Amino acid sequence: MAYSIGIDLGGTNIVVGIIDDTYKIIDRERAKTRAPRPAEFLVDTMAQCIDTLLMRQGLSVSTIRSIGIGIPGVVDLETGMLLHATNLFLKNVDFPALMKIRFPDIPVFIANDADCAVFGEYHAGAVHNYQSVLMLTLGTGVGGGFVYDKKIFRGGTGFGIEPGHMAVEAGGHIACNCGQWDCLETYVSIRGLKRMTEEALLRNEETILRHCVSLGESSFNTRLIFEAATAGDKVAIEIVERFVHYLALGIRNLVVLYRPHMILLGGGISHAGDVLLEPLRARVALTTVSGDVLPPPPIELSRLGNDAGVIGAAMLYSEGQSL
């Protein structure tokens, strides 16, 4: 059996996995990213993880079909160059070339981490027999990717899509980290949900959120908002309704642009489950274009969780275009 290596290079952790032909992670190794660090040191850490996995599984380098790397940044598909990764503090890095120094006989592939996540779900997760899927990851920011007919859609430039940075308002009210205003990410990310909660609490209405949500901490437990809404808290219900409004608006725009067969939600906020899914599906159904003969695509949750990026990176070889 041939195996593939999938690497999820995140801002906090590096996860390296060995994937078999059934898309199963047979073993994995983790290390801290410790950004900012030079790319050469990051590749050295990834290579050490690969060596550890091979030794632990009793596998030789010759059994490895490919190495795939998912990176949170803009990747030039033609050259394999990472152009910019804000969270890694890196620009213009040729990760495939650096990895080939350590493993010269193994093809190396690279892609944006959100593209890897949706590619993993397409092959091994919730997508099943759908020909295309568009995935949104609702976390600190909003990422996403689109897979059609076994290929990651990267647009005409090859740099991929950025669904989190479509404008969903036109008033210039809320600044986004990308430098623009009123992006989808400013409303349906963890940051957006936290801001909505802060705004709601300023109204001084009675709510259990005042006693259970800590807005001053760097982390923010979004689960508490959805739990309070389920319990009937009026303020929490209003926050969730506002959140769902913007998420449905973003999905509506993506549906009319890409016509995906399925919408998939991942990221920490998606763990809210049916409390989020049920009103979202109902709201999206109301946004169907007048005269459209097609119903909205089904909206489901990611099944692979954090494994999606590792599996998707390992499966990049199936697209071809090795570097």
Q: What CATH number does the domain containing 172 carry?
A: 3.30.420.40
What was the pLDDT predicted at 293? Answer: 66
Go through 73-93 and write b for each residue having 16 or more CB atoms within 10 A of its CB, e for each that does not.
bbbebeebbbeebebbebeeb
> What integer is the mean pLDDT of 192-218?
83
How far, in Å, CA of 237 to CA of 240, rounded? 5
Is the same domain home to 184 and 292? yes
- Same-domain status, 262 and 313: no
- Predicted confidence band of residue 218 (pLDDT cuts 50, 70, 90): low
pLDDT band, very low/low/confident/very high, at 227 (cuts 50, 70, 90): very high
Q: Check whether residue 107 and residue 197 sit in a common domain.
A: no
Same domain membership, residue 290 and residue 191: yes
- Cβ partners under 8 Å of residue 157, min gap 6: none
Whether residue 228 contacts residue 208, with contact meaning beta carbons closer than 8 Å, is answered with yes
Both 66 and 169 in one domain: the answer is no
Q: Does 142 share its domain with 70?
A: no
294 and 312 co-located in one domain: no
Average pLDDT over residues 295-311: 90
First vs last C-alpha separation in the chain: 23
Q: What is the band of 219 on the pLDDT scale with cuts at 50, 70, 90?
A: low
143 and 88 within one domain: no
Both 71 and 199 in one domain: the answer is no
Together in a domain, 135 and 262? yes
- Number of independent structural domains in the chain: 2
pLDDT at position 103 over 80: yes
- pLDDT for the residue numbered 28: 96
Residue range of the domain that includes 39: 3-121+307-319
pLDDT, tens digit (0-9, with 9 covering 90-100), for 108-143? 999 998 899 999 999 998 777 789 999 999 988 888
67-87 pLDDT, tens digit per residue, is: 999 998 889 888 889 998 877
Question: What type of residue sits at position 184?
Answer: L
Co-location of 187 and 260 in the same domain = yes
In the predicted structure, residue 229 carries a pLDDT above the cut 90 = yes
Is the pLDDT assigned to residue 189 strictly greater than 80? yes
Q: What pLDDT, on a 0 to 100 scale, did the predictor assign at position 143?
A: 87
> Average pLDDT in the 275-280 region?
94
Q: How confident is the model at residue 152 (pLDDT cuts 50, 70, 90)?
A: very high
34 plus 148 within the same structural domain: no
| pTM for this entry | 0.85
